[in-house]
Chains A and B, each alone.
Chain A
Amino acid sequence: DIQMTQSPSSLSASVGDRVTITCRASQSISSFLNWYQQKPGKAPKLLIYVASSLQSGVPSRFSGSGAGTDFTLTISSLQPEDCATYYCQQSYNTPRTFGQGTKVEIK
């Protein structure tokens, strides 16, 4: 199975800060990397797919980059509503595995 490792596990930042979350795959996954946002008690929501494509309706402050084994999710200007847990997920092969999550809090 492909292991997905996110860092950091949690972070605290101020409104307006630039926030970066990284995701590393245990082997190359090309660009088959997706990012999800999950708020407490809610279902996950797709933000970014195939590493850098923004899902329809998602604010442009979210962006993704990377290929191969190293990927990044960036929030250009953190907003209060971005308080959530973020997960990366690979679809290069089965099983389709998720990272352990990064919890983002507002200072």
Chain B
Amino acid sequence: EVHLVESGGGLVKPGGSLRLSCAASGFTFSDAWMSWVRQAPGKGLECVGLIKNEAEGGARDYAAPVKGRFTITRDDSKNTLFLQMNSLKTEDTAVYYCATFGAGRKFDYWGQGTLVTVSS
């Protein structure tokens, strides 16, 4: 069974940094494309970014609002996905989900999410 568990969320001041983690199990993590999707309170879903597997070059892409501030990385030896968030803004406040991005270009499995609150 696929299992994704996010951690690392919390309260941070504007301009601060935070690193989220997503521990994966139940599938071959090194083969998977992985993504981060966020949801601001009471709002819809936004794909923050995606990282391909290393066999396909590990390429990454990011949504415009976070490009240059957020970095997605992966540690295939530890089956873990990361999201490094710098220069945080109040508008980055959201629940952050990690999700697999499977064949058919779909977000097929999701974690339970971790809340990031950016506030002074």
Interface residues of A in 76-107 (CB under 8 A from B): 87, 89, 91, 94-101
Cβ-defined contact, B110 with A87, below 8 A = no
Number of A interface residues in the complex (CB < 8 A): 24
Q: Report the nearest B residue to A38, measured CB to CB.
A: B45
Q: Mark B36-52, 1 if CB is under 8 A from A, else 0.
A: 01000000111100100
Number of B interface residues in the complex (CB < 8 A): 20
Q: How far is the CA of A107 from the CA of B97 in the complex (A)?
A: 31
Q: How far is the CA of A103 from the CA of B112 in the complex (A)?
A: 20
Give the interface SS of chain B, mostly helix, strand, loop or mixed. Answer: strand
A-B contact pairs, 23 of them (CB 8 A): A32-B105, A34-B106, A36-B45, A38-B45, A42-B112, A43-B97, A43-B112, A43-B113, A44-B45, A46-B107, A46-B108, A50-B105, A87-B44, A89-B107, A91-B106, A95-B47, A95-B61, A95-B63, A96-B47, A97-B47, A98-B44, A98-B45, A101-B45
A interface, CB within 8 angstroms of B: 32, 34, 36, 38, 42-46, 49-50, 53, 55, 87, 89, 91, 94-101
